[in-house]
Amino acid sequence: METDSTTRTLGRSGIRVSALGFGCWAIGGEWQDASGQPLGWGKVDDEESVRAVRRALDLGVTFFDTADTYGTGHSERILGRALGKRRDDVVVATKWGNVFDEESRTLVGRDDSPGHVRRALTASLRRLGTDHVDLYQLHISDADPVRAAELRDVCEELVEEGLVRAYGWSTDDPARAAVFAEGPHCTAVQHTLNVLQDSPRLIQTCEQSDLASINRSPLAMGLLGGRREKATAGDIRSRPPAWLPGFGDGDGADPEWVERIDALREVLTSGGRTLAQGALAWIWARSPRTVPIPGFRSVTQAEENAGAIAKGPLGAEQLAEIDQLLGR
C-alpha cells in the first residue's frame, strides 16, 4: 500500500487523510450514564475547542473522528461549527448505536436496529452541519454478528444514496470486524492501540482485508501524554470503569503503568520528540495501516499532537528495543 510519513489511505476506500487524526471525545464535555458514572473528560471551553480544531487544520490535520454520543451530541456540534466552510477540506468520521438524552446529557441505552441507523445519521448530519459523513462507524463493540450483518447492509444502502462515503466498526474483536469487512464499502476498524496495548490480531485483520486501522486511546487516555495530574470530578478517569486500565480508582495512574512508561521514555523521546509524539510515532511504525486519533482540549495539545507528523514514525531498531523493554 503506497503511503508516506504524512498521509495515509483509509483502507479500500482510497480516501486520503493526514497520518494523524484528531479524536473529538474530550471536546464533547461532561456527560454520564444513568448511574451517574462520568463518561466525558470533564469541563471544556467550547471556544478553545473551536480554536484547537482550526489550529489543527492549519497544521495539516485532515481527519476528525467523533460520535453522536460524545457529550450527547455536543462534540458533533462543536466540530461542525469549527470546520464551517472548511468542511470539504477534511474527512469526518462519526459513530452510531447509542441512545442518549441531550437535555440531561445522559446515556440511556443502545439501539442496534437497522431502523435506528438512519435516524441516528439524520441527527448527526444536522449537528455536524453537513450533507454526508465520510466514515460512519458502528459504536456497539459487542453487537451480535448476525445483527451486524444487517447493519452492514444498511450502510451499503447509505453509501449508494450518497449519505455516507464509507463505513466501519469500532470494536476490539477481529471476528466482528471481519463481518463488516465483507461489505464492499467497509474501509476501517477502530480499535485500541498504543505502545502499552498492542493489537496484533486486529492489525492482521486490517492488512488481510484492506482496512484502515483507526487507533483510539493512542496515548493511553493521557498516560502517554506526559502529564499525570489527578483527574477531576466529571472526568471518566476519576472513576475508571472496568474496561479502562491504567488508572487507580480516583488515585491517578496505576504505578505499574507508570513504571512501564518510564522504562520507554528514552526511546520514545528520541529525535527531539515529546513523550506523546513518540507514542504516536510508535503507532505509525507499527503498520502503514494505522491512523492514531489522540484526543485534545486545547490549542497547546493540538499543536503538540500535530507536531508529531513532521517527525514521522520510529525506526525498526527502536521498535525492537521497545519490545525488549516490555518483554514481548
How confident is the model at residue 251, as a pLDDT?
A: 56
> Would you report the helix, strand and coil content of the chain in percent, each value rounded to 5?
45, 20, 35
CA distance 158 to 136: 10
Tens digits of pLDDT across the chain (328 residues): 444 789 999 999 999 999 999 999 999 999 999 999 999 999 999 999 999 999 999 999 999 999 999 999 999 999 999 999 999 999 999 999 999 999 999 999 999 999 999 999 999 999 999 999 999 999 999 999 999 999 999 999 999 999 999 999 999 999 999 999 999 999 999 999 999 999 999 999 999 999 999 999 999 999 999 766 677 888 898 888 888 888 876 557 888 999 999 999 999 999 999 999 999 999 999 999 999 999 999 999 999 999 999 999 999 999 999 999 999 8
DSSP code string of 193-251: -BTTB--HHHHHHHHHHT-EEEEE-TTGGGGGGT--PPPPTTBGGGS--TT--SEETTT
DSSP code string of 261-288: HHHHHHHHTGGG--HHHHHHHHHHHH-T
Reference 112, options 170, 151, 168, 73; nearest CA is 151
Per domain, the residue ranges of the chain are 7-253+288-312
Cell of 232: 477531576
Residues 6+ apart with CB under 8 A from 119: none
Q: CA geometry: angle at 135 spanning 80 and 102, to 5°?
A: 45
CA distance 121 to 136: 8
Amino acid type, 324: Q
CB 292 within 8 A of CB 302: no
Fold of the 7-253+288-312 domain: TIM Barrel (3.20.20)
